[in-house]
Chain A
Amino acid sequence: MTELLLIVTIAGERITIPAADIESVVELEALIPVPRVAPHVAGLAALRSRVLTVIDCYASLELSPAEERSLKEAIIVEADGHPYALLVDSVEDVVEVTGEVRPVRTTLKRGWRRVARGMIDVGGDLLLLVDTQALLLGPQVAQAA
């Protein structure tokens, strides 16, 4: 398998996301909160006259939020015709990976377990391959489904 993967960092964890899922990587400007929405929705942001639904990956992964983090770096993905921005701590690089996605052989925390599609060897490091769709669904919806 040869796949282009984007390496991003969320909560100190380097993870990979299939580059094919990603429309672009942007720095978000103002974030408009959405009152009473599920906690993993951080708010709305505008990108070239489109309204993005911004997903807080910390909340989606059921992690306690980091003290200081920028709410700017985001990757844009689309699901069911709606554009989403996934907030990440940093975006590292796009790498071409040849190798098998292997099942995760260890017990992950619940939030990670929900989004992990497997693990993959990237330049000698073992990284999680994450499903963006599961990430943007957030914990509640995923449980209900």
Chain B
Amino acid sequence: MDDLLSEFIAETREMLEALGGEIVAWEAAPSDRARLDEIFRFVHTVKGNCGFFDLPRLEMLSHAAEDVLADVRAGNRTADNKLVSAVLGVIDRIGELVQALETGEAISSEDDEQLIAALHHTTEESSAAEEAMGAAAVEGRKAIRSIRLSVDLLDRMMSGVSDMVLARNELARRLRQASNDLAVENAFDRLSGCIAEMRDAITRTRMQRMDSLFVMLPRMVRDIAGELDKSVTLEVDGGDVELDREMIEMIRDPLTHIVRNAIDHGIESSEDRVKAGKPPHGTLRASARQSGNQILIEIADDGRGIDPDKLVRRAVQNGLITAEQADRLTAAQKTALMFEAGLSTAKEVTAISGRGVGMDVVRANIERIGGIVDVESKLAQGTRLTLRVPLTLTIIPALTVSVAGQNYAIPRSATEEIVRARNDTVKIECLGGSRIAAIRDRRIPLVSLAEVLGVEHERAADDQSLIVLKPAGGDDYALAVDVVHDHEELVVKPAAPAVMATGLYAGTTLADDGSPILLLDPSGIAASAGVVLDQNEIEKLGAKVARVETQRDEEPALLFMTVDGAKRAVRLSIVERIEEVSPEAVKFSAGRLHIALGDRILPLVGCGNRVPEGTLRILRLSDGKTELAYGFSEVIDLVTIGDFLKPASLPGEVGGVTLINGEQIEVIDSFWLFGEQGEDARGERDLVCALADDDPWMGNILRPLIEAAGYRTVRAADEEAETADILITAAEAEAPPLPAVARILKVRATPEPIGDNDDSIYRYDRAGLLTALSAYAGKTGS
């Protein structure tokens, strides 16, 4: 309503301005029909609008004027000077009232009657009316305090001011070099201050009320609720909070998506709500408020909430986390899983949501503009999503750094601290192929900017500076650069798509000297350097939980020396026993090292691909199903893994680094080890293949392949073949000898198919055969 009213005020004012000339012209020539029509149209429009807004005074005035003008148009009255003056008096009063509407002033209504009377009694002298008119005219000439501008113009002003800031920066640099004249510097300082002030003012002109975003909600909520046959009441609050126009556009899509989600997945049907003891109408609340230099936008519903356990089940099903990790998540962490890609708890894909655009995209979009998304949810009570976004996009404080002689900018918001690499409190260690910076009591991954960018760094590693970065929603890491220059306010512009495609840059900007600078994207760099960031939320959760948990009860681990002489730790829980084996038991077979233990053959890891010399000691590791042998040289100690585990940058045998007695020790990633090194627990897939036994190729060539793939084979002549899952027979054979067997896989001797409808597989098509078998195995399994 407020919006409509201000629209009305602005419109009326524009008409009044346009009418100004017409009125004067009409006064000069009262018989001019075109002018008369123009003025009539104006009062008519005002009258119509007033009825809509319930503005009785304005309506009364405009109605009276309309009546009189209608008489004149119909020829019942002539427009003499007195009548013109009376109409002008009314129009001036309308202008005055419109202005009062905006400012909230009260204007005495006493002489309204007189103005109206003047319209009707133009032949009589009415000094009171004259007076009233005079007063109205004076009031009407008051300065108008707002104008309407095109957004284009504002954008041009903004970019003009941005350029001015750049020019000022360059001038500042030149002045520092060249001049020692105090007077010049003072003058420049003043100019500088003016520019800063102007920039602030213009930044404010680009601010838009959140209303312009919220205004779409009522219709959207109504439509979505209607489509889903739900009943939803919308409450909007904080529409007067202002935000940069561009920012509003960036939030539009995420907000739409969140609202859709809330109605679709959050709010229950009226029936369900009543059953749950809630009012039948669901409530959706959208609110905005400013907090420091951030805007908080909240979307809350009183629906069924997010079921954390359901999310976790989905996450485990989709392989995002392991069951073990899931057990350690806190409720909040479980809820945060909703931001992971590929997790939708909706039972079925509806038209409203579940179109492949998930909350992961919402989060990515908000983070791209430097914002954060939080979620809070209580089962059966509702969900609240909070977006925190910065006020403006265009001018950001940044740090300029250089590497290989070229300057780059880093957003100041992401930088936590800057330290020199050569410093007593800083230690850089290289292990497991990645580097770690120990700064005071923290250990964080170290990324070399030169390496990420693929350029040569100019300075030795210990002569560089480290910038501790905290990317939006990510874990800290240290970025090594050659030189840290200065803190600057930069006007950032989006870079061309080809440049953005690298994923390393957030935009371009111009330095003081007018040369282009690339703005680095801290998250992009971390991702490119392979730093384990919680863009994959789980990694962070896991690491955090591990940290918390080990503080409470530390995990026992075995500290040992590898065959290469490195110290490593392995969690005791997966160590079955320690054995000594003779080197004869170890063979490089089937592409890797295997070890024979009794009647079993286990994969041997920890020794590379080299058959070790002399007696070998092995750790037998088990995940409950699969066993592995891990070669080592000696046991050092039983230790507890401390309260610190820093994940490795790349998945591998070493899952992370921990501190044991002040020493950095690599911890074996049992998950990776069993995933990569362990061999399939064979025999689980009890697919039984019956082989036609009249063909020696089957027995001699095919059988070993099938058995190696983990399937059992029987001869077709055996009794067991009756219950075989599948019969493999030559395509050339006449009729299958065992019609009882449900599935028949035909193999043929020629690479080319026989005939058109040939469904047989070439006998040496290894991949084809195994695919067919595993397809059958899948079917029998289900």
Contacts and interface: CB of A to CB of B under 8 A. Distances in A.
Contact of B499 (A41, A45, A80): A41
B501 A51 contact: no
Nearest to B163: A49
A32 interface: yes
Given A37-B502, A53-B499, A32 B515 contact: yes
Interface stretch (B28-36, B373-381, B506-514): B506-514
Contact of B496 (A30, A32, A45, A53): A53
B516 A45 contact: yes
Contacts of B517: 32
A44 B494 CA distance: 13
B510 A51 contact: yes
B498 A41 contact: yes
Q: How large is the interface on A (under 10, 10 to 19, 20 to 34, 35 or more residues)?
A: 20 to 34
Nearest to A81: B494
B515 A46 contact: yes
B598 interface: no
Nearest to B504: A36
A33 B510 contact: no
Contacts, number: 67
A112 B681 CA distance: 56
Nearest to B514: A46
Interface residues of A, dominant DSSP: mixed
A141 interface: yes
A35 B454 contact: yes
Contacts of B454: 35-36
Contacts of B509: 51
A35 B525 CA distance: 12
A77 to B, nearest CB: 12
A138 B454 CA distance: 21
Contacts of A36: 452-454, 502, 504, 528
A49 B514 contact: yes
A32 B509 CA distance: 12
A66 interface: no
A51 B406 contact: no
Contacts of A46: 510, 514-516
Nearest to A83: B496
Contact of B508 (A35, A44, A80): A44
B511 to A, nearest CB: 9
Interface in B428-444: none
B514 A32 contact: no
Q: How large is the interface on B (under 10, 10 to 19, 20 to 34, 35 or more residues)?
A: 20 to 34
A49 B499 CA distance: 18
B166 interface: yes
A58 interface: no
B292 interface: no
B167 A35 contact: no
A34 interface: yes
B705 interface: no
Contacts of B518: 32, 34, 44
B502 A32 contact: no
A35 B501 CA distance: 12
A28 B494 CA distance: 21
Contacts of B494: 82
Interface in A17-41: 30, 32-38, 40-41
B458 to A, nearest CB: 14
B698 to A, nearest CB: 47
Nearest to A43: B516
Nearest to A55: B498
B453 A37 contact: no
A38 B501 contact: yes
Contact of A35 (B166, B455, B510, B515): B455
7 contacts: A32-B517, A38-B501, A41-B499, A46-B516, A49-B166, A80-B497, A82-B496
Given A35-B454, A46-B514, A53-B499, 8 more contacts: A30-B515, A32-B515, A32-B516, A34-B502, A34-B505, A41-B496, A41-B499, A49-B162
Interface of A: 30, 32-38, 40-41, 44-46, 49, 51-53, 80, 82, 84, 138, 141
* 6 nearest CB pairs, A to B: A35-B453, A53-B496, A44-B516, A51-B508, A82-B496, A49-B163
